[in-house]
């Protein structure tokens, strides 16, 4: 029986990336036997094999390198909320017919107690978390105005619509439709005021967190997986100029998936 010729995805500028997990590596081997690929650093579209963590890693790498390209993910991880279903066949047709979803990251600028400044992007959320058994005490300002002089809590986070079904939802925050030009501001285990459940803010809002008594009540700031410890002040805003494009099968696109999470039981 004659050997099946490889389908050429290289001429379409499609490259392939895979996480280090065994199941993703096995899927990569199958895809490389079936298709011819462009080099990943030269591709105009990327296929990413893994889970949500690997998709976030891929997107962050593009933000850091300044080479943002559309990404079509296939789930070879655990949850795969940001991924499409894994299938070997008709990949070129799937990518050609994919629905493009644009997401804008948050920008976190964190200043530490020692005076260092760190800037990181976050696609899902920026969260402030207490570092010790001591409750964090944080002042919250919105567009330069003090909205909450003090909240005592385990932490507080700002989530994008794309990230609203992740940590934000687990912390009791709202699900934001992807088309909503909003951000979720959600407390994590608030002690005082106990009944404050958070806020929904326009996505052009600048949010500033000041850590009160940071020496005795240290707080870390986390932008997705990037952590800065012992912060004194954290500023968060949406960075529309560095929006990213995810590609989805039309029948299972991210915007519809987020909307349906409101009915999950």
Task: Tell me the binding residues for NAD(+).
Answer: 52-53, 57, 124-125, 154, 162, 165-170
101 contacts 82 by C-beta, under 8 angstroms: no
16 contacts 31 by C-beta, under 8 angstroms: yes
Residues in binding site: 52-53, 57, 124-125, 154, 162, 165-170
DSSP SS3 for 70? coil
Give the E-state strand segments of 160-218 in sequence order.
182-192, 199-202, 207-211
Question: DSSP characters for 71-93?
Answer: EEEEE-SSS-TTSBPP--S-HHH
Q: Which of 131, 136, 146 is nearest to 229 (CA)?
A: 131
Identify the sign of the CA torsion 29, 30, 31, 35.
Answer: positive
Q: Please give the biggest Cα pair distance in the chain.
A: 75
H/E stretch holding 26 reads: helix 22-34
Query: Could you identify the residue written with the tokens 């990181």?
Result: 120
219 contacts 138 by C-beta, under 8 angstroms: yes
Q: Can you name the residues that pair with 223 across neighbouring β-strands?
A: 126, 226
Q: Is 235 a catalytic residue?
A: no
Q: Of the listed 8, 41, 52, 249, which one is catalytic?
A: 52
Enumerate the active-site residues.
52
């Amino acid at each position: 029986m004659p050997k099946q010729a490889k389908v050429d995805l290289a001429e379409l500028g499609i490259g392939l990336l895979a996480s280090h997990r065994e199941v993703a590596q096995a899927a990569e081997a199958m895809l490389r036997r079936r298709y011819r690929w462009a080099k990943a650093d030269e591709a105009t579209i990327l296929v990413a094999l893994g889970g949500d963590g690997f998709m976030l890693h891929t997107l962050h790498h593009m933000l850091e390198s300044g080479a943002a390209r559309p990404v079509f993910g296939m789930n070879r991880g655990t949850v795969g909320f940001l991924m499409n279903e894994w299938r070997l066949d008709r990949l070129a047709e799937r990518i050609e017919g994919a629905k493009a979803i644009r997401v804008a990251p948050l920008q976190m600028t964190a200043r530490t107690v020692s005076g260092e400044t760190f800037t990181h992007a976050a696609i899902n959320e920026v969260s402030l978390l207490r570092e010790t058994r001591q409750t964090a005490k944080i002042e919250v300002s919105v567009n330069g105005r003090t909205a909450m002089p003090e909240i005592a809590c385990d932490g507080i986070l700002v989530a994008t619509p794309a990230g609203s079904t992740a940590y934000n939802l687990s912390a009791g925050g709202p699900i934001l439709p992807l088309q909503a030009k909003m951000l979720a501001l959600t407390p994590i285990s608030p002690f005082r005021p106990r009944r404050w459940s958070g806020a929904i803010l326009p996505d052009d809002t600048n949010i500033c967190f000041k850590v009160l008594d940071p020496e005795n009540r240290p707080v870390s700031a986390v932008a997705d997986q990037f952590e800065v410890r012992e912060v004194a002040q954290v500023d968060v805003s949406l960075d529309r100029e560095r929006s990213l494009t995810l590609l989805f099968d039309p029948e299972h696109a991210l915007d519809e998936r987020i909307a349906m999470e409101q009915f999950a039981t």
